Structure 1
């Protein structure tokens, strides 16, 4: 997951709104969102290389999502699969803060990441780069490949777009998917310098990424209303075709 926009307690109908894009190499085998046979309470897409996921929910109200932290000097970026951090939380019933504490205590050296966790009560964001846990405040937030609310162009534009959508009387999933489909390239002057070179900074700068080998593989919308009803919609883009999966839960 490389762009994640969320609104928490910022709309009269929805307690939580998430709109997110997963960016990955096209050649990496992936399963679309579904209930997992080995963990039937989990609904998520799946990385078929290491078995983890980038964003998922459970029938008991747990939510987790991950973005990688872009740092080419990170010696651990090719270490254990960070997607297992998401599936690990979804498989367990530990509170979000306890799960973060267990990650710190484990001593496992993962590449840089940001982990968004909701246990049904608390909504937290933890980054192993800052080693800080942030309790998400009501409002609109954005997360890409740096820390929460770092004002990269795609985060700024995404948050502004989400605010416009939430200003309406109703939240229409199609509007959120349109926001996630924005492939506009910002100017070079706006780009961050993360150490990967200007050509790669340009390629990675839009909300929706397109290139010969790497790009946005799926877009996900998650809506959770104040009564505990959740709607999860995923659109995956494989070989020029669009596949849509949808599930509803009552928590």
Structure 2
């Protein structure tokens, strides 16, 4: 994922509601969200090049997601795929805290990342960049948060704007379609508000949209995840309208639901 907003322990009977976009090169092969034949408890999309995933759930309510840290000068082509950080948590039984402790000694092997791992009782944000607290893992307190390709709750325009809209939709009790509409905004930020992340100004403009579109790179899918107290977890996925035409398909669901 390259943009995730989430509400943790804010709503009754729904410990987690998360909405996010996966941005990637269009020619990188991936399969849509579904149950994995080799890990039957996992429901997620799959990166067919690296073998991992960007966001997923399990039948018993585990959740994980990853975003890259944008730092072009620090990228190592030989680093392991960050999608395995999500996969290995979903495929295991370790607690979120235990998993962070388990991966910490090897976190520097990866290019920069933000990782969310959790269940209905605990959610942790962990990054291999930033200050000591981030590198030790940070348990989330009740609230609303945003992640993109910087650290948690950075002030990038799209993080600020989508968090505000996300909060408004929660207050309205908005339907699922409204969250997907939120994630489809292709408006770019004004130049004066753009961060400086080591890419060209033209690239900063392109990447400043909630939903990115270009000739070779952009938002591939949008995803909505719900962890509910007394119901099965739900993952809904839709291909973005900004992506080059693909065969039309219905939203994928980890569990049928009629809204919130």
Q: Flag structure 1 segments of 5+ consecutive residues without an equivalent.
A: none
- In structure 2, relative to structure 1, the CA distance for the partners of 1:127 and 1:77 (3 Å cut) is farther
Deviation at 1:76, TM superposition (A): 3.0
Is the Cα–Cα contact under 8 Å of residues 34 and 44 in structure 1 kept in the other structure?
Answer: yes
Name the CA distance, whole Å, in 2 between partners of 1:156 and 1:107: 28
Deviation at 1:219, TM superposition (A): 0.3
Name the CA distance, whole Å, in 2 between partners of 1:108 and 1:151: 25
1:227 matched residue in structure 2? 230
Name the CA distance, whole Å, in 1 between partners of 2:5 and 2:107: 30
1:248 matched residue in structure 2? 255
Q: Flag structure 2 segments of 5+ consecutive residues without an equivalent.
A: none
Deviation at 1:186, TM superposition (A): 1.0
Specify which structure has the higher proportion of helix.
Answer: 2
Name the CA distance, whole Å, in 1 between partners of 2:75 and 2:220: 26
Worse-superposed segment, 240-249 or 196-205: 240-249
**TM-score using structure 2 length:** 0.91
Deviation at 1:13, TM superposition (A): 5.0
Is residue 2:65 matched to residue 1:61? no
Following superposition of structure 1 onto structure 2, how do residues 1-251 of structure 1 map, counting pairs within 5 Å?
1-12=1-12, 14-76=14-76, 78-106=78-106, 109-130=109-130, 131-168=135-172, 170-237=173-240, 239-241=244-246, 242-243=248-249, 244-248=251-255
Aligned residues: 249
Name the CA distance, whole Å, in 1 between partners of 2:226 and 2:119: 16
* Alignment RMSD: 1.7
